[in-house]
Structure 1
Amino acid sequence: MAVIGAINIDETVECQNSDNQKHWTHYPVTLDNWIEACHEEKLKRKISYAEIARRIKYARPSLSLALSGNYIGDTKTIA
């Protein structure tokens, strides 16, 4: 299991604080669970996928395609 480099999509401390990490099912984010982590992020923070894409500086259509398994490029960059 390779852990993805720490890229926080939000400026809050929630994901960085070790006390709060236990409340996140998909932490740490890895290449194997990044899609589920993205879905969890959306639900827990009550934000849209468009907002997630904006925060990670990726195009919303590319993120949507990657989440649905239809992205033709390498998803490691998005992950």
Structure 2
Amino acid sequence: MTVALMWEARAVAGRGDELLDWVRSQELPGTPLRREILRAPQDRVLVITWWDAAYDAELPELPEPDGELVTRAVHRWRFESVA
């Protein structure tokens, strides 16, 4: 089964590039099948990692960035592949 973990954060206004650099510097214990980093307006950064694991498996996730870098807590979602 393939499980996708989504991690999304919104940087303080004008600090989107700094948040993007922070995300790129984060190492995960273990190697996902795939890792993609995306950005959006309003200084938002999204990271999706795909893992060969059961839906409820314990998987490494990106941590919360420093509170001064983001405007709110990180949003996290977990999905399983169905096709």
Give the TM-score, by structure 1 length: 0.29
Larger Rg: 2
Task: Give the structure with the higher percent helix.
Answer: 1
Give the TM-score, by structure 2 length: 0.28
Task: Give the structure with the higher percent strand.
Answer: 2
Which has the bigger relative contact order, CA under 8 A and spacing at least 6?
Answer: 2
